[in-house]
Amino acid sequence: MRSFSDYLRSIDDAAFLSLFSARPDLVTPVPPDIASLAVRACSAPSLARAIDSLNQWQFQVLEAASTLTEPFILKSLVALTDKAAAVALEHLISVGLIYPSDDGMRLPTQLRDVIGNEPAGLGPVSIAKLKLTELDNAPTEAKKVLERLIWGPPRGSVGDIKNPGPGVTWLLERKFLVPLDQRTVILPREVAIYLRGGKTHRENLINPPVVAGTKRDERQVNLAAIANISTVLRWVEELLNFWAEEPADALRAGGLGVRDLKIISNHLGVDETCTAFITELAYLTSLISVDSDDRIMPSNKFDIWLMQTPADRWQVLASAWLITSRVSGLVGRAQAKNVAALGPELDRVNASRVRALTLSILNENQSIAPDEPSFIALMNWRAPVRRNSSLQEELATWTLREAEWLGISGQGAISKYGVGFLNGDDLNLINDDLPKTVDHILIQSDNTAIAPGPLEHEISQQLAIMAEIESRGGATVYRFSEATIRRALDHGKTGDEIKAFLIKTSKTPMPQPLEYLIADVAKKHGKLRVGNTSSFIRCEDTALIAQIMNDKKLEVLALRRIAPEVVICDHDAADTMRILRESGYLPAAESSNGLMLSGPRKNRALTKPRPPRVIGEIEVPSEDLFNAAIRAIRTGEKSSHKQTRLRQVASEALGALPRTTANETMDLVNRFIQEEKSLSIGYADNNGSVTHRIIDPIRVSAGALIARDHATGEVQSFRIPRITGVAPL
């Protein structure tokens, strides 16, 4: 047994189950046989995913293994690291990053390329034979040079390789440094390991760092978390109600513009970072949609979401946030100025993995609000190698912040709701723990009303039409104004209905100024009417028409009077109404047959919502699916073995060129590259004729096999799709 395919053929179903659980990409989709499985497992993307799952100690052991000459034994690996390497080695074998053969341990092909050319900061193996004991008596100048290169990187610059100085000269003469070009030298691997005391790393990070932090009272954590859950549900509802009234405009390149982000941020009373997070939550859960005219509006799913219990609504938001590859923290980041909320640039391939790991660490350290330095240190030990790892620390910080906003944590420590969410428990306790709703308000003499707690849904929806939220907290303050009363009238309310609602809902008497305000706005509302010509303005009060014609603020409308009570302009009716309202008038919409267009309305997007796809993550199948995949692979292996045997019999009988499948070809080529042995191949030329070649394979690069052709003695490139088959000599 020498190749990785041979190793896979030798393991049992339990080992396969362990391998697939750690690397689900190997069975997504299920390969037809073991040769195909081996090719996929040895591919660079799959190996990179597997390496991403290692902790710092396991990765150190893998780096040490990659510095050894194959095959190697456990004793050699322990000599470079520590006795604890035996446990790490078992894990590396179970995930297929190291495999045992008849003569020792080996690494899958391409693994060294994925790790890098300088594992643990070590240079290449020396070609020359070195007398390492001479390093003990090296001159002072040479020791200073070595001190800079011992722990990597192993490359150094010199002014001129022909006159580098006495220290470098001494090292070059004894091959302890090797020149790469006229200005660069490199330290051989054996020299660095000798100077490191026979170890590959300065420190063996066997045990994880301990998380330090502030001890939190469990009751206070849960109280803070339930308050955050209540707040985030209210944020999302207020955002979508606001966009139902005043839809935002999507950018041409996609996403939410800075101006609209600031508007909604001011409305919610939170900063733009938090606002971007809230808009992303609504986007992920399909609660908003972008219409064909590029307006961002609530979708019909918003109405369904509102009918659910608070626990179900919260789980919809939290579940979408946990698995998404989008990162709202990038919005407003100094290094990414052009990144917009809801835009296409927010995907990061490792976002959900870092998010899950962050919550896992919080779950393991319950009742502790971790300090950021110790938390980041543990995160970096648990996940030392990540694709796009430059963002890892920021992703962890953003996750902690967003978990607090969601109520997964409270006061920095994970809450019972967060624990239940991660465990998949029933979270109906959220419905019981949320503050009880109130059915009344307290109207003040300054045209404000105080809601002493979360209002019942119907009252909240009605009041949101009649007033603007001025401040939030345990109690919410609403302010009534001419614009908000006009908005209620536009929704089909009458002045008397508004008064009746407020008198019924308020536990304090209605102040006279508010009563006068409602009566005054109701009297003016609808006196002025706007319709489409592009648009017309009609009013039975000719004095008001004259005032409008003479108002300099309305010159932009280019109004033309066609009758004593009628004015027309080229602007759309909606734009005309907006400009009139901004100038202090109270117009109402009118239909072509003279009916005033007012009444309750719910603005919803006509376009079906398109939630963003999740990028870069593979869902882990269930154990039943893993077992089915194992059965399919073993059945395919029996079939492939039978077909290979039949081809071999036919080849021996007819003397034909070697014939192998694509997966068998790659398997044999990779094996013979390692063993440095010659191969017999069938190769199709440009005319389609197949010739017999004897080659010495060197490496596979960019879809081609680089090899020395025995017929010409030259190194040539053989396109892999043109190789009809491979056979050993």
Mean pLDDT of 670-681: 82
Alpha-helical (H) ranges within 348-409 are 351-364, 372-382, 392-406
- Residue 581: pLDDT band with limits 50, 70, 90: confident
Is the model's pLDDT at 59 over the cut of 90? yes
Among residues 6, 18, 54, which one has the least CA distance to residue 66? 54
pLDDT of residue 654: 38
Give the tens place of pLDDT for each residue, 216-233: 999 999 999 999 999 999
Mean pLDDT of 317-339: 86
pLDDT of residue 652: 54
Q: Tell me, what DSSP letter sits at residue 347? A: B
Q: Tell me, what DSSP letter sits at residue 455? A: B
**For a pLDDT cut of 90, what percent of the chain falls above it?**
33
Is the model's pLDDT at 700 over the cut of 80? yes
- Residue 389: pLDDT band with limits 50, 70, 90: low
- pTM higher than 0.75: no
pLDDT of residue 653: 42
- Residue 650: pLDDT band with limits 50, 70, 90: very low
Among residues 640, 643, 622, which one has the least CA distance to residue 632? 640
Token pair, residue 423, equals 């465990």
Whether cis (ω within 30° of 0) applies to the bond prior to 71 is: yes
Q: Sketch the domain layout of the chain as residue ranges.
A: 132-195, 213-433, 527-589, 660-729
Give the tens place of pLDDT for each residue, 186-225: 999 999 999 999 999 999 999 999 999 999 999 999 999 9
Is the model's pLDDT at 13 over the cut of 50? yes
Is the model's pLDDT at 627 over the cut of 60? yes
- For the chain, the average pLDDT equals 86
- Residue 406: pLDDT band with limits 50, 70, 90: very high
Is the model's pLDDT at 643 over the cut of 60? no
Range of lowest pLDDT (36-40, 102-106, 234-238, 335-339): 335-339
Is the model's pLDDT at 645 over the cut of 90? no
Is the model's pLDDT at 529 over the cut of 90? no
Mean pLDDT of 405-432: 93
Range of lowest pLDDT (109-118, 377-386, 576-585, 596-605): 596-605
- Residue 642: pLDDT band with limits 50, 70, 90: low
The continuous run of DSSP H or E covering 643 comes out as helix 623-654
- Residue 598: pLDDT band with limits 50, 70, 90: low
Is the model's pLDDT at 526 over the cut of 80? no
Give the tens place of pLDDT for each residue, 146-160: 999 998 789 888 877
Report the DSSP beta bridge partners of residue 188: none
Report the DSSP beta bridge partners of residue 455: 438
- Residue 612: pLDDT band with limits 50, 70, 90: confident
- Residue 682: pLDDT band with limits 50, 70, 90: confident
- Residue 96: pLDDT band with limits 50, 70, 90: very high
Three-state SS at 708: strand
Dihedral Cα 334, 339, 345, 350, nearest 10 deg: 30
Which residues, in sequence order, are CB contacts of 726 under 8 Å at separation 6+?
Answer: 658, 660, 664, 665, 668, 669, 679, 680, 681
Assess if CATH 3.60.15.10 describes domain 660-729: no
**Are 505 and 514 spatial neighbours (Cβ–Cβ below 8 Å)?**
no
Mean pLDDT of 103-125: 89
pLDDT of residue 617: 67
